[in-house]
Structure 1
């Protein structure tokens, strides 16, 4: 009996290692009820290397009943403006000059920027290139619209931003100042590192790099607290929504690639729930 137990443990370890070493950002899922679904780990950029989807992506969307994304696409924008505050009174002259410079780079009005929540500016300004609507998520939603497919979100925009909104103003300013201190070369280096991981389709490394880059913007204890809400709790919510909708719908699921990996990631949780999965190729 003892020998049998050891063999079982060894077998489970081998299986776990095999899953950990798998590469893939686009997956076909077979639910316990036999229905077919698709899971696509996205990255929020319009980089030309990853927005020219192979025909199988459109075919998979067309075969699905709906596109499930992270945030409900609606016209009710969350409140992104500071109440009774302006960054003019919170930042030094040098910091404000940097904010103005980055505002111009990202084609944003400085007068509006200085009223925006610091955590949001940190996210925007950390990118080495201006944000556009032609990222993977937008393209997938446009594709679904062209195919007359419904698009629904796992969270509302208010729910999605609630975690970062829970930061105090001082905590948000710590995050913004960390970004303002980065040079253009450092921002580009971080971006290229994450893109390298994404192009290799290594979900584990993507999550590790993403968490490391985001984590260095906040004090360690604060980041540990925020990470639970950004990743662990949201992953559970995503899996619950997928399991619920997959009972009578065929889904094309598009969420950030960092949510796929790890013991609490979507791939692991869905496997534990009886989903079978096989990797597919989304772009060259």
Structure 2
């Protein structure tokens, strides 16, 4: 892995915090040129300053809403004009979603979750495929979740987006193998990683209990597995347990296990039998 990332041009979305920041710093340490994007300009600048400590210059950054195709097109143009291409795209940006049960969710929030977590990945993948195809040794890294294996309470929109990323990327792996097999495609399923994705008051208990794996540890593992060309990467708190449970348990047994584990984290008002979501 020591030379795999040297002089590679890497585009990282969601680089203002969490795993995105870890990707930026750890890749800079490995000699990569990083182009960083995020919707949060202030924290993106903080990440850029951390990267500059390792290579002496501030990396290229762009304020970027991954749900906007026009901004993806501008990003690809910037990458092409500045670096004459892209070797690795990391579709890392994501949001937590509604954090309520189905009957308490609203369509605006569901749509935003899908626009960022799924369509952001789709638009980034399609926009950058020409650049990745032109690179002699390239990689696409799409971030799903362990919630791309199981449906969990209070995360139906988030699960839907991450299941969608999984299906989309697994199909793409087969397709690209027929035409551009030199493009490595990787599907990442993080477990409970200590990031800022869970920001709402409703998810505070979940964050405290489950989001415990340091983001640098998670990203170091991902970079190791990408260099080894492992297509599916499962790591982080409860990650492998969740993966194997999804494979080995019946759906009814899986539901019982998940329900028991999540029961103490639910907000009582959301599970009232007379909740307005059950009324016409």
> TM-score over 0.5 for the alignment?
no
- TM-score of the superposed pair, with normalisation by structure 2: 0.32
Q: Which has the higher contact order (CA 8 A, sep 6+)?
A: 1
Q: Answer with 1 or 2: which has the greater Rg.
A: 1
Question: TM-score scaled by structure 1?
Answer: 0.32
